Chain A
Amino acid sequence: MDGVFISVEVNGDAAADAALAAKLEEVCPVSIFKGTPSGVEINAEFLDECVLCGLCLDAAPDGAVTVTKLYSGETLTR
């Protein structure tokens, strides 16, 4: 999912993990993730509020979440 400045992706298996979804919703300080019983949804209107804190990367398994800075192309993952 893309904002103007930030894009966030949760890869296939992780995206359908309800427990992980709830955890992502809890850690993100700007409410980008929404936990649902069927997995994670992205609140598109908050993507550009991302403060690059990395808490979502730390909360998820390696490589499950990728944050991309659309203005420089740099990707953040773990």
Chain B
Amino acid sequence: MRFFEYEAREIVKRAGIPVTDFGFTRDAAEAKEIAARIGGPTVIKSQVLSGGRMKAGGVQFADTPEEAQTHAENVLKLEINGQMPRGILVDPKADIDQEFYVGVVWDGTAKQPVIIFSPVGGIDIEQVAEEQPDKVGRRHFSNILPFSDYIAKEVIASTGVTGSDLNKLVPIVTKLAKLFVEKDMTLAEINPLGKLKDGSFVALDAHMDMENEARGRHKALLADLGVADEETREAREATPFEIAGEAVDAMDHRGVAGNVTEFDGNLGLVIGAGGGSLTLFDAVRAQGGDPANYCEIGGNPSVNKACGLAKLVLQKPGVDKIAVMMSIVSNTRVDIVARGVIKACLELNMDPAEKIAIFRIPGAWEDEGFLILDKYGVEYADRSVSLHEAARRAVEKIGAAA
């Protein structure tokens, strides 16, 4: 879950890392007050989760509070990559001597966090790594041993930084590393980390991503920041169709029938499980099909849930037929899913034989499932029909219908 910059800065500040005297607001008049309080030139920054703010005009510089208000009005109205800003951040325009970079991420290969440090900040760290590799230091640290300052010292020193800069940077990097671990972040980044004319350091921007699975451990922090439980903070906001999918999955605690993602095609998909859904979605597209949605069934959901998911997809505008397909199931039951999708058709006064382009779920209780499908005249396939072949048949049928 990604944080807005104003939240990320607050997290950094709470960890004891110096930040500028910034203010957050959703109101242009208040932006003027904040700018007046700060005194001197300010920066008005759009608070969106998307990158590319600067290019889109979401970052503006103001010399006076009045100018800050004018920029604030404009930035608050500016949509960036499909997102309206949450608000704006009013930041003093700092007098910077040098920009540094520090970030902490997981290394899935080493299975440890890694600190990345560079005396070249303010730009994309991947670009620095390509152009000036000797200016980027990396240092893994243990998941079990307590973090110790020397680890931060080593990574900073490895980039050639020494003197009082080194000594001032060690506590900042240490605090960021500890914050990364304690707050279950998947990314904790300060870029740029500014060195002011007086030689002190201050975080000028911060980017934080918290692991979704760990949100439950940080309820107090999230409540303090005003992050609501239902905010998913995915790359794009959930559509009403996707929110309805969440509601289906929440109908009871048996299994999964959800993770719905909306697309704009005519072939509705009732598919599973994790890997099966990925494979099947690719397969439908490879056969020239146009999926209306992505979803996942797994863990043996109730008939009610399978029915709810199928109804949701069947009722989606533009959907002509649905394809019900999974990789071989060993826990989810074929007959239960068959009952669910047929019931969905019946309750919507649709003919299952016509609406279900194909049913390809082999595995547990398949004989029972096939009896049900026979009764309603639904075309089905067993494991001898591959996932791609099932997708091909579904696409062929919907082509004939269009």
A residues contacting B by CB (< 8 A) are 4-5, 30, 48-49, 51-52, 69, 71-72
Which chain B residue lies CB-closest to A6? Answer: B339
Is the CB–CB distance between B343 and A48 below 8 Å? yes
Which chain B residue lies CB-closest to A52? Answer: B368
New contact pairs (10) apart from A5-B372, A49-B303, CB-CB < 8 Å? A4-B343, A48-B303, A48-B343, A49-B302, A49-B304, A51-B333, A51-B336, A52-B368, A71-B371, A71-B376
Task: Decide if the interface of chain A is mainly helix, strand, loop or mixed.
Answer: loop
Interface: B253 (CB within 8 A): no
User: In the assembled complex, how far is the CB of residue A49 from the closest CB belonging to chain B, in whole angstroms?
Assistant: 5
Which chain A residue lies CB-closest to B300? Answer: A51
Residues of A within 8 Å of B346, CB to CB, are: 4
- Could you count the A-B residue pairs with CB atoms below 8 Å apart for me: how many are there? 27
Residues of B within 8 Å of A72, CB to CB, are: 371, 375
Is the CB–CB distance between B339 and A48 below 8 Å? yes
Given the contacts A49-B303, A49-B304, A51-B333, A5 and B339 also touching, CB distance less than 8 Å = yes
Residues of A within 8 Å of B371, CB to CB, are: 69, 71-72
- Give the CA-CA distance A49 to B301 in the complex, in Å: 10
Residues of B within 8 Å of A71, CB to CB, are: 371-372, 374-376
Which chain B residue lies CB-closest to A5? Answer: B339
Residues of A within 8 Å of B304, CB to CB, are: 49
Task: Decide if the interface of chain B is mainly helix, strand, loop or mixed.
Answer: helix
Residues of A within 8 Å of B368, CB to CB, are: 52, 69
A-B CB contact pairs (8 Å), 9 listed:
A4-B346, A5-B339, A48-B303, A48-B339, A48-B343, A49-B303, A49-B304, A69-B368, A71-B375
Residues of B within 8 Å of A49, CB to CB, are: 302-304
User: In the assembled complex, how far is the CB of residue B189 from the closest CB belonging to chain A, in whole angstroms?
Assistant: 48
Residues of B within 8 Å of A4, CB to CB, are: 339, 342-343, 346
User: In the assembled complex, how far is the CB of residue B220 from the closest CB belonging to chain A, in whole angstroms?
Assistant: 37
- Give the CA-CA distance A56 to B339 in the complex, in Å: 21
- Give the CA-CA distance A72 to B303 in the complex, in Å: 18
Which chain A residue lies CB-closest to B252? Answer: A49
- Give the CA-CA distance A48 to B302 in the complex, in Å: 9
Q: 8 Å CB contacts to A: which residues of B356-400?
A: 368, 371-372, 374-376
**Mask: chain B, 326-346; 1 = CB below 8 Å from A; 0 = not:** 000000010110010011001
- Give the CA-CA distance A72 to B375 in the complex, in Å: 7
Residue from A5, A30, A52, A72 with most neighbouring chain B CB atoms (10 Å):
A5
Which chain B residue lies CB-closest to A30? Answer: B302
Which chain A residue lies CB-closest to B376? Answer: A71
- Give the CA-CA distance A46 to B302 in the complex, in Å: 10
User: In the assembled complex, how far is the CB of residue B73 from the closest CB belonging to chain A, in whole angstroms?
Assistant: 55
Residues of A within 8 Å of B374, CB to CB, are: 71
User: In the assembled complex, how far is the CB of residue B145 from the closest CB belonging to chain A, in whole angstroms?
Assistant: 47
- Give the CA-CA distance A52 to B303 in the complex, in Å: 13
Which chain A residue lies CB-closest to B365? Answer: A52
- Give the CA-CA distance A51 to B300 in the complex, in Å: 11
User: In the assembled complex, how far is the CB of residue B302 from the closest CB belonging to chain A, in whole angstroms?
Assistant: 6
Which chain A residue lies CB-closest to B336? Answer: A51
User: In the assembled complex, how far is the CB of residue B388 from the closest CB belonging to chain A, in whole angstroms?
Assistant: 29
A-B pairs, 5 with minimum CB distance: A71-B375, A71-B372, A72-B371, A48-B303, A5-B339
Residues of B within 8 Å of A52, CB to CB, are: 335, 368
- Give the CA-CA distance A33 to B94 in the complex, in Å: 71
- Give the CA-CA distance A41 to B366 in the complex, in Å: 31
Which chain B residue lies CB-closest to A46? Answer: B304
- Give the CA-CA distance A52 to B302 in the complex, in Å: 13
User: In the assembled complex, how far is the CB of residue B377 from the closest CB belonging to chain A, in whole angstroms?
Assistant: 12
Which chain B residue lies CB-closest to A48? Answer: B303
- Give the CA-CA distance A37 to B375 in the complex, in Å: 39
- Give the CA-CA distance A69 to B368 in the complex, in Å: 10
Residues of A within 8 Å of B343, CB to CB, are: 4-5, 48
Residues of B within 8 Å of A69, CB to CB, are: 368, 371
Residues of A within 8 Å of B342, CB to CB, are: 4
